[in-house]
Amino acid sequence: MAGGRGERFWPQSRLATPKHLLPIVGDKTMLAQTVDRVVGVVPRANVFVITTQAQLKGCQAACPDLPAGNIVAEPMGRDTAAATGLALLLVKQRSPNAAFAMLPADHVIHDVAEYQKLLSVAFEAAEAADVLVTLGIKPAEAATGFGYIQQAGPWKEISGRAVMAVKRFVEKPDLETAKAYLASGEYFWNAGMFVWRVPVVENAFKAHAADLYAGLAKLEAAAKATGDWTAALAQLYPTLPKISVDYALMEKSTNVVVVPATFDWDDVGAWPAIAKHFTPDASGNVLRGVAMVEDGKDNIVVSDDGHLTAVVGLSDLIVVHTPEATLVVHKDRAQDIKALLKRLADDPAKKKFL
């Protein structure tokens, strides 16, 4: 899944170059890193990228080694349930009983070997029973920005790893609830990573998201009749309900299991989160490109294209320079970038900076 807007990384992320098309952490785009990671488990020919029209060229450029037909553009974003449905149809026409993984393309995972091991375990689980398999992240803190997965004790051991039954999926909690989840030891973060077989997820759509299931059936029929996915998508994708896969399927299904992730994981949700992936200077400043701090600490300064960005006498700032735009924001206010982008969207003269 490579269709998000990643606006929290503005001004590096733009409409046509969202987070997964940037080397936010590392030298390659997040998408290319994701594909590289998966290819140890799934042959490259079987890796699909689902993106949007605006990002299609960027995804093609980021993944030159993927078959061109494997990069599929939604006419517009319809949230993750519709994207899952599209993936389902793409896999089904190749192999109607195959297991496939749905994975976000903008996460950072350094321990690739362990990741590949657990992704294999998830595939084995999906092939062993009619279950929806998810990978759950052990919570590092009482985060309110993720949904949670409550486990209900051991389900099976697969290739030496414990796989747990799932009691329920829950939406992003408030802080008190998140603290309780953390204290209970029963919860995982929902990182949006799923593995399932075509008929199992198809049944889940049929049981819990009848509208979507009907829409997907029409889309499948149209694509089959004409052989033209692009036309079928343009006509029918806009009619699909806009809903998350968590809400449409996971919260309602009872045949869910979770593979506890034992690899490092970070969704790098916004600028402040990049700090831990770089070595700071002696004052805790993370400096990328031609960046300087004079008498300040714990700043993140990103300056592209040989342009010098200098921070003097200030701490805890995020300063990001790109050729078109520069952002200066306090670390604690990174979420307010959204309000700025709203103003840009509303101003004809400034829309071009989105």
Using the rule CB under 8 A, give the single segment among 19-27, 30-38, 229-237, 325-333 that binds its own copies. 325-333
Q: Classify residue 184 by burial, with Cβ atoms within 10 Å: 0-12, 13-18, 19+.
A: exposed
The first and second tokens of residue 121, run together, are 């375990």
Is residue 343 involved in binding its own copies (CB under 8 A)?
yes
Nearer to its own copies, 10 or 265 (CB): 10
Considering only CA atoms, which of 65, 72, 54 is closest in space to residue 6? 54
The DSSP element (H or E) to which 211 belongs, if any, is helix 210-226
Per CB under 8 A, the list member of 339, 345, 346, 351 interacting with its own copies is: 339
For residue 58, the minimal CB distance to its own copies (Å) is: 21
For residue 146, the minimal CB distance to its own copies (Å) is: 24
> Strand, helix or coil at 240?
coil
Is residue 330 involved in binding its own copies (CB under 8 A)?
yes
Map the footprint of its own copies across residues 281-310, applying CB under 8 A.
Answer: 290, 292, 294-295, 303, 307-310
If binding means CB under 8 A, how many residues of this protein chain bind its own copies?
A: 34
Say if residues 125 and 158 touch (Cβ distance below 8 Å): yes
Is residue 326 involved in binding its own copies (CB under 8 A)?
yes
Is residue 130 involved in binding its own copies (CB under 8 A)?
no
For residue 310, the minimal CB distance to its own copies (Å) is: 5
For residue 29, the minimal CB distance to its own copies (Å) is: 24
Question: Whole-angstrom Cα distance, residue 51 to residue 198?
Answer: 20
Say if residues 161 and 233 touch (Cβ distance below 8 Å): no
Say if residues 5 and 18 touch (Cβ distance below 8 Å): yes
> Strand, helix or coil at 170?
strand
The first and second tokens of residue 255, run together, are 């045949």
Indicate left, alpha or beta for 242 from its phi (over 0: left) and psi (-120 to 50: alpha): beta
For residue 314, the minimal CB distance to its own copies (Å) is: 5
Per CB under 8 A, the list member of 162, 207, 234, 340 interacting with its own copies is: 340
For residue 219, the minimal CB distance to its own copies (Å) is: 40
Question: Whole-angstrom Cα distance, residue 211 to residue 39?
Answer: 34
For residue 137, the minimal CB distance to its own copies (Å) is: 29
Map the footprint of its own copies across residues 172-201, applying CB under 8 A.
Answer: none
The first and second tokens of residue 91, run together, are 């896999």
Q: Which residues bind its own copies (CB under 8 A)?
A: 11, 290, 292, 294-295, 303, 307-314, 317, 319, 321, 323-330, 332-333, 336-337, 339-340, 343, 350, 353
